[in-house]
Amino acid sequence: MTTSQTYHIPVMLNECLNYLNIQPDGIYVDVTFGGGGHSRAILEKLSEKGKLFAFDQDKDAQKNIINDERFTFIPHNFAFIAQWLHYYKVYKVNGILADLGVSLHQFQTPERGFSYRYNYPLDMRMNQQQKLTARDVVNDYSVQQLENIFKEYGDLPNAKKIAHLIQEYRFHQPIETTFDLVKAVKPVLPKVNDYPILSRIFQAIRIEVNKEIENLKSFLNQTYDLLEHKGRLVVLTYHSLEDKIVKHFMIHGHTDKTLTPDPIYGTIQYPFNNLTKKPIEATEEEIKRNPQSRSAKLRAVEKV
């Protein structure tokens, strides 16, 4: 039986709560609900007047919905955060939390096709209603598209070789399952400890399937206008590409633009007060308890 704790153990829970600086009567948003661990902890700090909104596009997460009048679950991607909050007549919030990690539940549910440890059809969709699957990516994308994905989303130096191996394999037969994919890329895997390479290959495909980078940028670019003065944004990332985007946004207030000095005074008006000069990482004790937290980096800012 899946519980909220086995679904996904909340990473750096106390640190997230501390940086959110929760106001009891405030309005907060958990854009990655999952097992609801962070959400439950936020609710414990809210008064009867406080409100919490939570997003999650994975229908499995709905099994963890919290029965609380102060809580509203929104079964959609956080890329549409402003649209859905406005639907609920919410235009300003006191804090936003995003834990960008894939849930333990998704990895440990073989039929979801997220893990190379189980031989199941390639899927990797977080939103099981969408059409594009991992199978479509590895069978239908051009070699150049695959190379770009592995290079950009997996930071794989042999991205071109991996893309050509997939092309060669699918020429003879479709790549249907996770084990088919592992077999296709086997020539580039080390004989000992193939985990790091396989993880990055699967990560790159998953990011493409779920348009994670586009959705992350869309979400971030809406947060400044949604936050109250001195409102907090707290984000947990799990790989360098995400972290680079979040870091850039927290400095410049936009994922693609950079700040320029005022043409008259030569000063720069920063949109946020950076609360974490360096990203916060999980303690050794937490890593032992929850290995998923090993790669997590927490960054937090306050709107000025």
CB-CB neighbours of 6 under 10 Å = 13
What is the per-residue pLDDT across 31-43, written as a single tens digit (0 to 9) for each? 999 999 999 999 9
Average pLDDT of the segment spanning 234-248: 97
Structurally, at CATH architecture level, domain 4-104+212-303 sits in 3-Layer(aba) Sandwich (3.40)
Q: Is 79 or 58 the better-scoring residue by pLDDT?
A: 79
In which band, very low, low, confident or very high, does the pLDDT at 103 lie, cut at 50, 70 and 90?
confident
Give CA–CA dist 54/62, Å, rounded. 11
Average pLDDT of the segment spanning 106-134: 87
181 neighbors 150 (Cβ within 8 angstroms)? no
Does domain 128-209 match CATH 1.10.150.170?
yes
Q: What percent of the chain has pLDDT over 70?
A: 97
In which band, very low, low, confident or very high, does the pLDDT at 242 lie, cut at 50, 70 and 90?
very high
Give CA–CA dist 171/180, Å, rounded. 13
Query: What pLDDT, on the 0 to 100 scale, is given for residue 89?
Result: 98
Q: Is 12 helix (H, G, I), strand (E, B) or coil?
A: coil
What is the per-residue pLDDT across 254-302, written as a single tens digit (0 to 9) for each? 999 999 887 777 789 999 999 999 999 999 999 999 998 999 999 999 9
Average pLDDT of the segment spanning 9-18: 96
Alpha helices in 47-194 (DSSP H): 81-87, 104-108, 134-140, 143-154, 159-172, 178-184
263 neighbors 234 (Cβ within 8 angstroms)? no
Query: What pLDDT, on the 0 to 100 scale, is given for residue 104?
Result: 74
CA 151 to chain centre: 19
Please state the domain extents for the chain: 4-104+212-303, 128-209
Q: What percent of the chain has pLDDT over 90?
A: 83
Average pLDDT, the chain: 93
102 neighbors 206 (Cβ within 8 angstroms)? yes
Query: What pLDDT, on the 0 to 100 scale, is given for residue 3?
Result: 45
Which pTM does this prediction carry? 0.93
